[in-house]
């Protein structure tokens, strides 16, 4: 059996994104890794601070986790894009303060349009929630004023 090769996806220290930004004091502080196939993986323990029902993550937080994974799957390709449309399937409750795995991948691209998929699985690889989304590529300079246009959007 081969061991999974994951490379950390580094974010800028001043990134204030609610999902992944290290500079956001109330954010989720998600750490993403890039797999050999260019999909992304996150292995968080999401605190009970983000619960809906006791012991379970809030549905909006679940959607955020999935959106972040899909966004990173696009950014790994050096693209800056924003969510246009997202469909979420809540299959089973996602426990808080418990090890989960989030996976995201870019499925297809046509021009500025990028279709993605993501899922959250538990320690037994049971899918708890999944999503599909369409991302639209934007100029990095519009989203991040001052960033050189050619710089990859991995922060």
Whether the per-residue pLDDT at 12 is higher than 90: the answer is no
Q: Which residues pair with 88 in a beta bridge?
A: 131
Domains and CATH numbers, the chain: 6-143 (3.10.129.10)
Specify the pLDDT at position 144.
Answer: 63
CB 49 within 8 Å of CB 9: no
The per-residue pLDDT for range 83-92, each reduced to its tens digit, is 999 999 999 9
Task: Kindly report the average pLDDT of the chain as a whole number.
Answer: 91
This prediction has a pTM of: 0.89
The per-residue pLDDT for range 100-130, each reduced to its tens digit, is 999 999 999 999 999 999 999 999 999 999 9
Mean pLDDT throughout 35-50?
97
Specify the pLDDT at position 146.
Answer: 63
Specify the pLDDT at position 148.
Answer: 54
Mean pLDDT throughout 8-30?
87
Q: Quote the percentage of the chain above a pLDDT of 90.
A: 76
CA distances from 85 to 116, 119, 121, 131 (A): 10, 16, 22, 10
Whether the per-residue pLDDT at 151 is higher than 70: the answer is no
The per-residue pLDDT for range 57-103, each reduced to its tens digit, is 999 999 999 999 999 999 999 999 999 999 999 999 999 999 999 99
């Amino acid at each position: 059996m081969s061991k999974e090769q994951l490379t950390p996806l580094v974010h800028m220290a001043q990134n204030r994104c609610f999902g992944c930004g290290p500079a956001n004091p109330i954010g989720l502080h998600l750490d993403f890794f890039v797999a050999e196939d260019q999909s992304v993986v996150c292995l968080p323990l999401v605190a009970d601070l983000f619960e809906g029902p006791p012991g379970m993550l809030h549905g909006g937080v679940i959607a955020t986790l999935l959106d972040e994974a899909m966004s990173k799957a696009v950014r790994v390709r050096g693209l800056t894009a924003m969510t246009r449309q997202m469909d979420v399937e809540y299959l089973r409750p996602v426990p808080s303060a418990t090890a989960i795995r989030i996976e995201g991948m870019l499925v297809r691209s046509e021009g500025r349009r990028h279709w993605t998929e993501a899922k959250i699985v538990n320690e037994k690889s049971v899918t708890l929630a999944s999503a599909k989304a369409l991302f639209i590529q934007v100029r990095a300079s519009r989203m991040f004023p001052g960033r050189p246009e050619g710089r990859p959007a991995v922060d």
